[in-house]
């Protein structure tokens, strides 16, 4: 089995990739508000020549509505740079069905707009004999809409789900996402949908088609959608810790859900990424070294002791992400996730990362 390892980048990522495909919630914004510093990071990356795709699995809003949200946050986004799972779903339906075919909408007017834009006819009842059914998240979703979908699918309609995220992030915690309602229809009909959104390849293909990316970098906060989607498409990815995934999730990530790069937030696209030095069963990154102790990963700081010649060594060891990079390397190699601190500096960094600090 291949161990996917975090990689070094000796130039800033912004200089290595022409287009960043950015997940939105947890990367660009959290709920209504921008992740701190992100508008400035995007402006700096744009000045360096990078282009963007603003990519969302959420099918409830039109690209224009998403673009307005981004512009309200101070981000110079164009509507054409927004890529939604509705667009990918519309393309899948149009590839499969003759132009003008009726498609039952289980979702919002925004979803219906994409279906019409793909040359199909949006309908809202199974009595219109739809050739396809498209199901996406809607806060107005009703039992009646799900019932129409079940009738149409049993009659043989081609069923596309925009995405299968079971939850939707909210300021009140996770709430039911489209995937939960897809399960209702699947259990009722015994059918399974074709899925458009991340991590399915259709979504990445839509992103590349719309941006013309040659060397894309996928940036996301979820291992099971953003990072898995990048792995399946064979493109590099940056995991940011500003959203859902936390340090503990990274250490236990399955092989197909391991990112190429790691950063605290989107600022990670503007910088170089350090490599990991391996020797004698240890992994070292920056000021941190990890070794195995029993069934645990032992973290110690390896910055030289301060001396009159090296007063800077009295500073606390740097970058928490360096510690996490070294931990992830040995965690993935040995399938171990429990952590132990070897010194006071390690206690502090493990606590900040939300990891266990002792036996
Ligand atoms: Mg996200």
Q: How many angstroms separate the CA atoms of 260 and 254, rounded?
A: 13
Give residue 347 CA to ligand 1 midpoint distance, Å: 29
Q: Are 264 and 320 in contact (CB under 8 A)?
A: yes
Give residue 102 CA to ligand 1 midpoint distance, Å: 32
Q: Are 113 and 121 in contact (CB under 8 A)?
A: no
- Mean pLDDT across 107-128: 97
Catalytic residue among 23, 224, 265, 287: 23
The pLDDT confidence band at residue 314, using thresholds 50, 70 and 90, is low
State the burial class of residue 140 (Cβ atoms within 10 Å of its Cβ: 0-12, 13-18, 19+): exposed
Q: What is the pLDDT of residue 59?
A: 86
- Mean pLDDT across 173-199: 96
Q: What is the pLDDT of residue 154?
A: 98
> What confidence tens digit (pLDDT) does each residue in 136-145 have?
999 999 999 9
Give residue 38 CA to ligand 1 midpoint distance, Å: 14
The pLDDT confidence band at residue 308, using thresholds 50, 70 and 90, is low
Q: What is the pLDDT of residue 311?
A: 57
287 flagged as catalytic:
no
Give residue 187 CA to ligand 1 midpoint distance, Å: 27
All domains in the chain, ordered by first residue: 13-57+199-270 (3.40.50.1000), 95-193 (3.40.50.1000), 277-352 (3.30.300)
Q: How far apart are the first and last CA of the chain?
A: 30
Average pLDDT over the chain reads 93
Least confident piece of the model among 82-91, 255-264, 308-317: 308-317
> What confidence tens digit (pLDDT) does each residue in 236-251 have?
999 999 998 999 999 9
Catalytic residue among 15, 18, 25, 128: 25
Q: What is the pLDDT of residue 1?
A: 45
pTM of the model: 0.92
Q: What is the pLDDT of residue 312?
A: 55
> Which of 126, 94, 89 shows the shortest CA–CA distance to 111?
89
Using only C-alpha atoms, what is the Rg of the chain? 23
The helix (H) or strand (E) run that includes residue 132 is strand 132-135
Edge-to-edge strands, sheet with 339-341: 277-279, 282-285, 288-293, 296-301, 339-341
Give residue 47 CA to ligand 1 midpoint distance, Å: 25
- Mean pLDDT across 9-24: 97
Give residue 226 CA to ligand 1 midpoint distance, Å: 7
Identify the three-state secondary structure at position 83: strand
* Alpha-carbon distances of 2 from 54, 226, 254, 255, rounded to whole Å: 31, 20, 11, 8
277 flagged as catalytic:
no
């Amino acid at each position: 089995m291949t161990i996917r390892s975090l990689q070094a980048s000796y130039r800033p990522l912004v200089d290595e990739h022409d287009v960043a495909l950015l997940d939105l919630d947890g990367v660009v914004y959290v709920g209504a508000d921008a992740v701190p510093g992100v508008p400035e990071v995007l402006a700096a990356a744009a000045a360096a020549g990078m282009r963007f795709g603003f990519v969302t699995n959420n099918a409830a809003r039109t690209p224009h509505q998403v673009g307005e949200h981004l512009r309200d946050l101070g981000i110079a986004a164009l509507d054409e740079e927004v890529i939604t799972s509705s667009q990918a779903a519309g393309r899948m339906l149009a590839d499969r069905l003759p132009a003008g075919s009726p498609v039952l909408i289980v979702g919002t007017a925004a979803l219906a707009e994409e279906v019409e834009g793909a040359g199909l006819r949006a309908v809202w009842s199974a009595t219109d004999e739809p050739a396809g059914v498209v199901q996406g998240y809607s806060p107005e979703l009703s039992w009646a809409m799900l019932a129409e979908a079940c009738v149409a699918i049993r009659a043989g309609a081609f069923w596309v789900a925009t995405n299968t995220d079971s939850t939707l992030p909210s300021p009140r915690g996770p709430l039911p996402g489209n995937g939960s309602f897809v399960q209702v229809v699947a259990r009722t009909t015994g059918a399974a949908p074709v899925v458009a959104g991340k991590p399915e390849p259709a979504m990445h293909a839509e992103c590349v088609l719309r941006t013309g990316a040659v060397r894309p970098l996928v940036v996301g906060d979820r291992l099971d959608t953003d990072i898995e989607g990048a792995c399946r498409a064979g493109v590099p990815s940056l995991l940011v810790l500003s959203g859902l995934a936390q340090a503990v999730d990274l250490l236990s990530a399955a092989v197909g859900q391991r990112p190429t790069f790691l950063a605290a937030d989107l600022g990670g696209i503007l910088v170089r990424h350090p490599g990991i030095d391996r020797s004698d069963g240890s992994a070292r990154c920056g000021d941190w070294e990890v070794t195995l102790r029993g069934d645990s990963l032992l973290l110690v700081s390896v910055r030289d002791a301060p001396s009159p010649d090296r007063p800077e060594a009295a500073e606390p060891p740097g970058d928490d992400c360096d510690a996490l990079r070294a931990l992830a390397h040995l965690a993935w190699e040995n399938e171990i996730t429990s952590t132990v601190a070897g010194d006071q500096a390690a206690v502090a960094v493990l606590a900040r990362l939300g990891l266990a600090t002792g036996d």
